[in-house]
Amino acid sequence: MRIQNKWITLLFSALLVLFSGGLTKAQSTSASKSFRIACQTHFSPKNVKQDYLPHLQHIDSVFVGNATYQSYLKDIKSQISTHNYTMIHSRSSSYERKAANEVDTAVVVDGYEGNHYNGGIPNDNTMAISNDGIVVSAINTNIQFYDTQLDSVLKVISLSKFSDTLTNVSPHQYDPKAIYDYENDRFILVYLAGSKSYESNIIVAFSQSNDPMGEWNIYSLPGNPLNDTSWTDYPAISLSHDELFITGNLLKDGGSWQTSFKQSVVWQIDKKTGYNGDSLTTNLHYDIAYNGKNVRNIHPVRGGNAFYGPEVYLLSNQNFALESDTFYLIKIEDNLSSGHADLNLDLLLSDTKYGMPPNAHQPGSKRLATNDARVLGAFYQNGQIQFVGNSLNIYFDGDTNKIAGFYHGVIKDVTNSPKLHLNIYSDQNKADMEYGYPNISYCGLHDESQQSLITVDYASKTHVPSFGSIFFEEDDTYSPLGNLYSGNTRIYILWSLQRWGDYSGSQPKYNEPGVVWASGTFGKKIGNKQAYGTWIASIKSPKKDVPKAAKEFSAKAYPNPPVNEMMSVEFHLTKDEEIKIEIVSINGQKVADLYDAQAKAGKNVFTFSTSPLENGLYLLRIYNNDKTLYTKKITIVQ
């Protein structure tokens, strides 16, 4: 293989069709701090003989922690009905406008009722499933271990029981997140303890084997890691080949809403130290800011059908804006062990705006809380990121048609020139249906596939809270809403606004390509209570996912003349093959060999510098086995 480095600044990468949204550069900053966290204790669920699942819920309080959060959201949401929106999706539904042909709803493979409600508000559904079919699911009060092969509950344990061997940890425990590591065949469970700076901790548990009923190594990360009277709220987690990532918001004790939020942080942890029970090697990324303003509610981007890395991506946005086209694309460059785990942030503009969602309707007068428009689920696959979150949905015209919906975003060509395309989903046949707390997982079967499954809670003035799914095929093609489980009552636990989320669970079944497992909330009658139920479902794509027919060789060179002394050539191969790229003079004399190596089947982009060339006309040639595949005249003016 021969590569001329003076010519080439970027070799091959997948190139996908670009949308109009784009990347904007500006000043971003961040800092980092290392921690060593010893394993504090071990715990084995199978040894628990009895658990009374104790829980105390304050019915008058809607939001835990910050006392002004409820009034702050209420003030913003009160402006929705009168705000003069410029959002461009207001005249037709996504399903009506986008679907090129009829796409069926997801195929339901299996399902069962998950964690039982025992006083926690809201559910905060999370789940993980192993290759052996063992499910670890959790809600705000308890953890359930379930064997799908035996269709049997193995154990139910309260969050506080799971960590009761830890010392000096608050009994107020909440916001669980579960994840499965298919490469190491282990589970990881993360949740919070305490909502004041002096008692805040992040509990992190690593299973010692693929049996979650066996021993776990349990750690306690500081919830006030910067010692600045702040505490950690709202975690999200993801895994790479080597590391665990935990994001969270640091909120200050007391103060107004504007001063209580301090910043969002990212913990980067060597996961193998956790599996081995050694002291955790960690790095805390903090002071993550764009143009001097801290970003909030950072969400890690999980792998699609496999982990990726060593680099990892994260997303954030302007989650409290009435309407916005702004997202933040964050990248941590490498593993901790590399010494180059630098964090970079860029602003990404979408081609469609999203906005603060109104609280959703359900039968009766009590609304369902939708919180804000933060990113709630994301994955990276085939060079692109797909993600979802709550949003305002304006269907047809008029102030009364502003309802709770969700956005689905696709960032293509992530590594080179990311472009963001955004849709606000709605179904023409269910135009008044309202949505909350979506999540998303990849369900494709080949390298070019974009297929994914979105799962979401839904309700309306005439439909009690239920759990459903939407199939995304490719390029704006969605299925109608499909039902996974119907509730049998409205939700009415609190005196005023009813909690509904604050998130849902979703994961691909890694050894069953195309299959996704998910957990969400439905309205459930429990005696005389109108409370929460949890449904856990297995679903798969309704369409056979096969690669598109291979195209004949095609190529285009751009920009021509080059811009900033750089030029690219995009081309498509029907199979992996050896190719050569060269520049010759207009008289046919060779000027430079640019590339002589294998290229992959599908779309590719080759980029090179034209700075060594003198002004004039040249020919760019691509050939293999002495057969010319492409010739293009290029003009150099620099």
Query: For 173-217, what is each residue's pLDDT tens digit?
Result: 999 999 999 999 999 999 999 999 999 999 999 999 999 999 999
Q: What is the mean pLDDT of residues 621-628?
A: 85
Q: For residue 44, name the pLDDT band (cuts at 50, 70, 90).
A: very high
The mean pLDDT of 420-441, rounded to a whole number, is: 94
Residue 16, pLDDT score: 30
The dihedral formed by the CA atoms of 498, 318, 263 and 507, expressed in degrees to the nearest 10: 60
CA atoms within 13 A on the CB side of 259: 6
CA dist 437 and 484 (Å) reads 15
194/52 same-domain check:
yes
Q: pLDDT class for 577, splitting at 50, 70, 90?
A: confident
Query: For residue 535, is it within any domain?
Result: yes
Label the pairing between strands 28-37 and 280-290: antiparallel
Q: Is the pLDDT of residue 157 over 50?
A: yes
Q: Which of 511, 540, 569 is the last residue of a domain?
A: 540
Domain boundary among 483, 517, 540: 540
Q: How many other β-carbons are positioned within 10 Å of the β-carbon of residue 43? A: 19
> Would you say 407 and 394 are in contact if contact means Cβ atoms under 8 Å apart?
no
Verify that 234 and 267 share a domain, yes or no: yes
- If one counts every other C-beta atom within 10 angstroms of the C-beta of residue 468, the result is 26
Tally the domains of the chain. 2
Q: Quick one: 491 and 454 in the same domain?
A: yes
Q: Which residue has the higher pLDDT, 101 or 331?
A: 331
Q: Identify whether residues 59 and 165 lie together within a single domain.
A: yes
pLDDT band at 257 (very low <50, low <70, confident <90, very high): low
Instruction: With respect to residue 204, please indicate whether it lies within any of the assigned structural domains.
Output: yes
Cβ(321)–Cβ(65) below 8 Å: no
Query: What are the pLDDT digits (tens) for 394-416?
Result: 876 655 689 999 999 999 999 88
The greatest distance separating any two alpha carbons of the chain, rounded to the nearest whole angstrom, comes to 89
Distance CA 477, CA 384 (A): 17
- pLDDT score for 259: 64
**Would you call 428 helix, strand, or coil by DSSP?**
helix
Domain of 609: which CATH number? 2.60.40.1930
Q: Report d(CA 157, CA 118) in Å as an integer.
A: 12
Pick the residue with more confidence: 416 or 300?
300
Tell me, yes or no, whether 478 and 585 share the same domain.
no
> How much is the average pLDDT of 59-72?
58
* Any domain includes 99: yes
Query: What are 354's two structure tokens?
Result: 């999203």
User: How many C-beta neighbours within 10 Å does residue 503 have?
Assistant: 27
Q: Which helix (H) or strand (E) holds 124?
A: none
How many Cα atoms within 13 Å fall on the side-chain side of residue 414? 22
Q: Give the range among 65-74, 94-103, 285-294, 580-589 with minimum mean pLDDT.
A: 94-103
Answer yes or no: do 488 and 609 share one domain: no
Pick from 19-28, 34-43, 257-266, 626-635: least confident: 19-28
What percent of the chain is predicted at pLDDT more than 70? 89
What separation in angstroms does the CA of 375 have from each of 129, 154, 307, 410, 532? 23, 33, 20, 13, 23
The CATH number given to whatever domain includes residue 527 is: 2.115.10
DSSP string, 522-567: EEEEETTEEEEEEEEEEEE-SS---PPPPPPPEEEEEEEEEETTEE
Are 272 and 218 in the same domain?
A: yes
pLDDT bucket at 24, cuts 50 / 70 / 90: low
pLDDT of residue 255: 66
For the beta sheet containing 505-508, the strands, ordered from the edge strand earlier in sequence to the opposite edge, are 107-113, 529-540, 515-526, 505-508
Q: Are residues 38 and 171 in the same domain?
A: yes
260 φ, ψ (degrees, to nearest 5):
-75, -35
Do 463 and 521 share a structural domain? yes
Same domain, 522 and 596: no
Q: Give the pLDDT score at 290.
A: 96
pLDDT at 586: 85
User: Within a domain: residue 355?
Assistant: no
Confidence of residue 94 (pLDDT cuts 50, 70, 90): low
Whether 153 is covered by a domain: the verdict is: yes
> Are 533 and 563 in a shared domain?
no
From CA 203, how far away is CA 231, in angstroms rounded? 13
Q: Is 5 helix (H, G, I), strand (E, B) or coil?
A: coil
Q: Where are the beta strands (DSSP E) in 200-342?
A: 201-207, 216-222, 230-239, 243-252, 261-270, 280-290, 293-294, 299-300, 302-303, 312-317, 324-332
> Environment class of residue 590 by beta-carbon count within 10 Å: exposed (0-12), middle (13-18) or buried (19+)?
exposed
Q: Give the pLDDT mean for 505-533.
A: 97
Task: Report whether pLDDT(297) > 60.
Answer: yes
- pTM summary value: 0.83
**What's the pLDDT score for residue 74?**
87
Q: Which amino acid is at 151?
A: D
Mean residue pLDDT across the chain: 89
Looking at residue 243, its pLDDT comes to: 98
Task: Find the domain containing 505 and state its range.
Answer: 31-72+86-112+119-294+433-540
DSSP label of 292? T
Question: The dihedral of CA 600, 604, 610, 614: what is its sign?
Answer: positive
Please indicate, yes or no, whether residues 141 and 253 belong to a single structural domain of this protein. yes
Alpha-carbon span 605 to 555, nearest angstrom: 9
In angstroms, rounded to a whole number, what is the distance separating the alpha carbons of residues 608 and 566? 6
Query: Is the bond into 357 cis (omega within 30 degrees of 0)?
Result: no
Domain boundary among 514, 540, 566: 540
Residue 313 lies in a domain: no
